[in-house]
Chain A
Amino acid sequence: MRVTNGMQFLSSIRQIGDSTGALFKTRQEVSSGKRIQSGADDPAGYTRLLQIRSAQADADRFSSISKQVKSSLQTYDNSLDGITDVMRRARVLALQGASDFSDAGQRQVLSDQVNTLLEEAIDAGNNFTDGKFIYGGSNNATAPFSVVRDPVSGKITNVNYGGDDREQSVDLEPGVSMGFTLSGTEVFGDPPGDPGNFMGALIKLRDDIATGNNAIISASVATLDAINDRFLSLRGEMGVRIQHLDNLTAFREQTLFQLEEERAAIEDTDLAQAMTRLSLQEVTYQGALTVAARLNRDTLLDRLR
């Protein structure tokens, strides 16, 4: 093989170029902490990276939404707790009102107390939390319950519901949605006239206690018990949904952890391995420089006299 000066310099320049290129890439990896700087570095890994990031974004979105949904469900749970308390107090008053030992004066006091509970129930029905009336269904910008009052006594004679029955739900993930609202009719029952309507039952109880019809008052207790069962059922449902949400969150967190592990394996630099490679490449680079510096240091021309 005939070796010329040009070949030697050409080869040396290429080797220095190769060494510099390898060093540059490894230094980038070490200083950025990322193995993949752009898609062209590892198209297959990069594709998987995009999928993982998309899945992480979905998981983050789920996390954010699930907090809001859980908060909403807890709001309903707390509200139902308060409403159940109203119902229990009403039941106690009903039992007292149905007693033969109550005189007219005592019944009026009891009736007034039931009226107070009715006002509390209306307030609970118009619960305004986080910018919306929570029992309005999807029509939640205005108070769902409006009342008709006796012009003389000022007492509530009728309650109207202006909300709707549409449950608001949210898509936690494709194909999995969860309702996070309860409508006024779901909780308080259909409009007055329906025996299961809580407000209507309180109005009736108030008036029955005032008139002293013990048999009817006793029947109201059974009605209140049925309504209480509905409250308990709804609270149970809220609890189940919260539990479901917690389970989904735990599963998502586990998935998120696995995704993060996979992402790190694809994208992040293995520092120990990269530093070792960097040292080796520095030695190679220094070798290439040394060889270049020694090129043609001593030729026949130097020895000619």
Chain B
Amino acid sequence: MGFDGILYASRALTANQAALDITGENLARMNEAGYTRQRLQPQVGPATPLPLTPTIGVGPGGPLFPGNGVERFRDVLLDRTIRAQANVLAGAQTSATIFRQADAIFNESVKAGINKASTALIDAVQQAAVNPNDIPSRTLVLDRANTLAATFADYANQVQNLRLEAGTRATNAVTEANGILARLADMNAEIPDRASAETNRLLDQRDLLLDRLSEIIDIEVAVQPQGDIVVYQSAVPLVFGKTARSLSLTQDLTGAGVITTDTGKTLSNPGAAVGALLDAKNVGLKGFADQLDTLANATMTEVNRRLANSYDLNGNAGAALFSGTSAITMQVALNDPRQLGFATASLQSTESMAATGFTVDASQPLSTQNANLGNPLTAASGTIVVNGTAINWNDTQSINQILANFPPGVMATFDAARQRIVLRRDPAQGNSGPDLTVSETSGDLLNAFRLTTATLNKGVPGDAGGARSIVALNTTPVLGVPPSQSINQGIQALVQSVALTASRNSNAAETAQRLQDALLTEREQVSGVNSDEEAVHLVQYQRAYEAALRLANAQDEILDTLINRLGVR
């Protein structure tokens, strides 16, 4: 037997000292972000004593040798799950934040709002319809129209700003991702393939970077046999060995954002925060902006059409109230309230269609009514032209059937009491202006119902056919093909859509957060530090250290006895 005991004591002292250091590091860094608890792994070395190798984790040794490394308590599969969930959570939270802002823009709970502005304009036109020649009532219409146009423009501007902000955030996120990718490539070179406290510090940093990167873009991480990693996105390697690809984001307000690498590869599905930002900007918010444009354009087109198809107080076709091609550019183009076309044209037969003492039944075929007509038919068929549209008739038709063929925009009725045809312009139809014209090309149907020489009533100040037509817009379907929604319903549908999107994303973010909390708790169970546990280890290693010291003292006394006292007299 040699003096192995002192060797054991020495190594035990070193090993327990190292274990105490690790325990101290656990306690000191327990609240540090990304810190993973460690434990020294002592190892029983070969029976043959080897030279002292006090360096932790590198050399072989004898009993109670410090071991081949410092264990880092980490669950790789759990990390993978957490990063996948971080991707989902970051996307959901980003979307929730953006759509909550959109919800605030479209919030109709407050006293102002696009729905209220639209209703207020209809209210004003309704008031003017009761007093169409009243200038203050007309001026109120202009004021309300200004408010509606400003509200549309304001909403559209705010949505556009939100889209621009999403784009800026996406650009910043890609810049941050580039920094992380470059650092990960550097770390591939820095991290040695052996476990040590220093190695573990680098691994903690790398895991933190990967966690953060997975919040920015959706990634897959593959650990190589030498300990370095390869980071993929959409099957495109972004980090491999010491190389990191640089990402660039190309985007504008009309097209989708595209992320490409410096080698020209496109990341088709970036996911996480960047994916959510681009999706919100180019799909969700763009959809709201498009709907706003649709509503603004429908409002402008339909109101302007009705005004143009009516007469103003000066006897001219009504001027356009709105100008612009989108919600942002929508504005009021009219300053003079007299130019609002609220009156509709009418035309009626110059004289009774019936012969004196007779009446015409408009529901019976003309051939059976010939004797009742003021002038008998000169032909069995013919053609009349109403507002430029040729209407063919024959004597097997009734007056009502012929009138039913009149073109859209011309409301034709037979006034049975006066035995006359009455035409009124329907301002909601067509864009041919407010006039009504009738001519006959053949057949002389009582010289086209005695309308060809009738004087056009160009709408008079007290007439409000055009104004009433605008009021009817409140409930008339004009959106969709075929039209199925009124503008009012379209506005409500848009506000509802924004609310639903915001709510859905908030709920998704909350659900994702709960799951991520549970996963992080799982990770904390594996990798977190428990101070009581460390205190026990502290006592354990301290006692072992004291025991080793006692062993060294005992060995020392033995040697002292052997060397200094044996045989000495």
Within 8 A of B (CB), among A33-91: 34, 36-43, 46-47, 50-51, 53-54, 57-58, 60-61, 64-65, 68-69, 72
What CA separation (Å) do A141 and B538 show in the bound complex?
Answer: 103
With both chains docked as a complex, state the minimum distance between the C-beta of A22 and any C-beta of chain B, in angstroms. Answer: 12
What CA separation (Å) do A3 and B522 show in the bound complex?
Answer: 10
A296 near B: Cβ within 8 Å? yes
Binary contact readout A100-141 vs B (1 if CB under 8 angstroms, 0 otherwise): 000000000000000000000000000000111000111111
Who on chain B is nearest to A51 by CB? Answer: B492
Within 8 A of A (CB), among B508-528: 517, 520-521, 524-526, 528
- A57 and B499: CB pair below 8 A? no
B462 near A: Cβ within 8 Å? yes
- A40 and B495: CB pair below 8 A? no
A164 near B: Cβ within 8 Å? yes
Q: Which residues of A contact B536 (CB under 8 A)?
A: 300
Q: Which one, A166-174, A243-251, A285-293, is touching chain B?
A: A166-174
- B525 and A139: CB pair below 8 A? no
- A10 and B130: CB pair below 8 A? no
- A53 and B108: CB pair below 8 A? yes
Within 8 A of A (CB), among B80-120: 99-100, 103-104, 106-109, 115-116, 119
B296 near A: Cβ within 8 Å? no
Q: Which residues of B contact A139 (CB under 8 A)?
A: 460-462
- B535 and A166: CB pair below 8 A? no
- B131 and A40: CB pair below 8 A? no
Q: List 17 A-B contacts (CB under 8 A).
A: A4-B525, A7-B524, A34-B109, A39-B108, A40-B502, A40-B506, A50-B492, A68-B127, A139-B461, A141-B461, A166-B460, A168-B130, A267-B109, A296-B531, A299-B535, A301-B27, A304-B535
B-binding residues in A (CB < 8 A): 1-7, 9-11, 14, 34, 36-43, 46-47, 50-51, 53-54, 57-58, 60-61, 64-65, 68-69, 72, 130-132, 136-141, 164, 166, 168-171, 174, 180-181, 267, 296, 299-301, 304
What CA separation (Å) do A139 and B463 show in the bound complex?
Answer: 7
Contacts A6-B524, A38-B502, A131-B131 known; A50 to B535 CB distance under 8 Å? no
Q: Which residues of B contact A61 (CB under 8 A)?
A: 119, 122-123, 126
Contacts A1-B525, A51-B492, A53-B115 known; A170 to B130 CB distance under 8 Å? yes
- A5 and B530: CB pair below 8 A? yes
- A39 and B129: CB pair below 8 A? no
What CA separation (Å) do A141 and B130 show in the bound complex?
Answer: 14
B457 near A: Cβ within 8 Å? yes
With both chains docked as a complex, state the minimum distance between the C-beta of A55 and any C-beta of chain B, in angstroms. Answer: 11
Query: Interface centre among A14, A51, A132, A138, by most B CB within 10 Å?
Result: A138
Partner of A3, one of B116, B126, B463, B530: B530
Q: Which residues of A contact B472 (CB under 8 A)?
A: 171, 174
Partner of A47, one of B119, B129, B492, B539: B492
Q: Which residues of A contact B134 (CB under 8 A)?
A: 131
| Closest 10 pairs between A and B when the two form their complex, measured CB to CB | A39-B499, A4-B528, A40-B502, A140-B462, A300-B535, A138-B463, A139-B460, A138-B462, A6-B528, A141-B461
With both chains docked as a complex, state the minimum distance between the C-beta of A63 and any C-beta of chain B, in angstroms. Answer: 11
Partner of B529, one of A4, A37, A43: A4
Query: Interface centre among A7, A37, A132, A166, by most B CB within 10 Å?
Result: A166
- B130 and A68: CB pair below 8 A? yes
With both chains docked as a complex, state the minimum distance between the C-beta of B382 and any C-beta of chain A, in angstroms. Answer: 30
Binary contact readout B523-555 vs A (1 if CB under 8 angstroms, 0 otherwise): 011101111101110110000000000000000
Contacts A130-B131, A131-B133 known; A6 to B30 CB distance under 8 Å? yes
- B103 and A166: CB pair below 8 A? no
Q: Which residues of A contact B459 (CB under 8 A)?
A: 138
- B503 and A43: CB pair below 8 A? yes
- A39 and B462: CB pair below 8 A? no
Contacts A132-B462, A304-B538 known; A54 to B525 CB distance under 8 Å? no
B214 near A: Cβ within 8 Å? no
Contacts A138-B463, A164-B457 known; A50 to B468 CB distance under 8 Å? no
Q: Which residues of A contact B253 (CB under 8 A)?
A: none
